[in-house]
Amino acid sequence: MTLRRILLIGTLVAAMGGAGLVGAVAGGGAIYLAVRDRLNSPAASPAQTAAEPASQPAAAPAPSLHVDVSTAIEDAVAKVGPAVVTVVNVDQGSGSGVIVSADGYVITNNHVVEGANRLQVIYRDGQTVDAELVGTDPLADVAVLRVSGTLPGVAGWGDSDALQPGETVIAIGSPLGDFRNTVTAGVVSATGRSIETSSGYQMEDLIQTDAAINHGNSGGPLVNLAGQVIGINALVVRGAGATSDQAEGLGFAIAGNTAKALSDQIIVKGYVSRPYLGINGTPITPDLAWAYNLPTQWGVYVQTVGRNTPAAQAGLQPGDIITQIGDQVIDGDHRYINVLMHYAPGQQVPLTVQRDGQILTLEVTLGERPAS
């Protein structure tokens, strides 16, 4: 091999090596720049950098699930607030109410208007007008008033059966009678609650809420975020006595569907049509049964039977113990008055009765409870 050929081959090898080195450097530089950009990108994670090709598009961001509750509350209050009123039982006290009809009908509690000689309503702007009592239902603590003239607003009903625990609700009313149209908010703590009243009747299907309710809020609306009335605020439980726990945030409202059904009857009839048996009786409890050696722990002991009443016509006698009405047994969860109220006037139902050690079944056609 000549010297010239050796020089040519050396030159060629050197050129090829240089080209390879340049290519390697260029390729390595490109990879370094690409990796650096991926690492510096805030949308990339180490796992994505190692596993995904550089050309793969970034995933679209998840849609926001944020709900502006404050704005929803403001909108609901703006919608219902003008229809909320202060109900004044002149010379006795005050409560709250809500206008639910363009005809001027106002829903409130029976205990707000009980014993009233004169009723007035104060609108949110301070205007005071006289109100007429249309009718009441003492058992469910519902009353209907009516006002005349230009109305400041009318509230609509919502479906209280659709409420869920945890749902945001708003109470509007006049606590202590001095703070008109006060707004408080909370959640539905529970539905389907029952509380026994002094008459022995259990108010059923109550809505429990932790929205602040005070004296004077009674009769005001409980409102959902759609600006619909889903309850009528009725009472608050705080406990009493030195040995009782002092509770907060235990407010209860009559379910809106119940309040609407009862108020519709009052508007049409002036009262709520309730079934009537025609007895005076004493509820039997386990303690009473033990004290008087009675043959059953639950029921109602018949003391007197009214003349020409459904009970008399069915053959009930003083000393009988009613233990069941229809297919519902009377017990601690199903009190006599509540069980009776599940039926309608004119309906024929069987009564299960204990008499002198025997169990009898008497058929009774229920009458209509006289309006109070």
Residue among 123, 94, 95, 125 nearest 221 (CA):
95
Which of the following is catalytic: 94, 160, 174, 218?
218
- 87 in Cβ contact with 106 (< 8 Å): yes
Residue 71 identity (one-letter amino acid): T
Residue of 50, 333, 89, 3 lying closest to 195 (CA atoms): 333
**C-alpha 35, offset from chain centre:** 57
Contact 92, 111 (CB under 8 A): no
**DSSP designation for 370:** P
Which residue, 263, 259, 304, is CA-closest to 281?
304
Q: Answer yes or no: 205 catalytic.
A: no
Asked if 146 and 102 touch (Cβ cutoff 8 Å), the reply is no
User: Which among 323, 279, 326 has a CA at the least distance from the CA of 297?
Assistant: 323
Distance CA 137, CA 369 (A): 11
Active site (annotated) includes residue 218: yes
Q: What CA–CA distances, in Å, run from 49 to 28, 34, 62?
A: 17, 10, 21
> What is the C-alpha separation between 138 and 274, in angstroms, rounded?
11
Q: Which residue has the tokens 């509820």?
A: 283
Nearest in space to 136 (alpha carbons), one of 158, 151, 156, 115: 115
Residues 6+ apart with CB under 8 A from 252: 193, 195, 203, 206, 207, 208, 209, 233, 234, 235, 236, 237
What is the rounded distance in angstroms from the CA atom of residue 182 to the CA atom of residue 221? 11
Selecting among 111, 160, 263, 320, the annotated active-site residue is: 111
**Token pair recorded at residue 211:** 């929205």
Q: Which of 94, 96, 137, 141 is catalytic?
A: 141
- Both tokens of residue 362? 């008497």
Query: Which residues form the catalytic set?
Result: 111, 141, 218
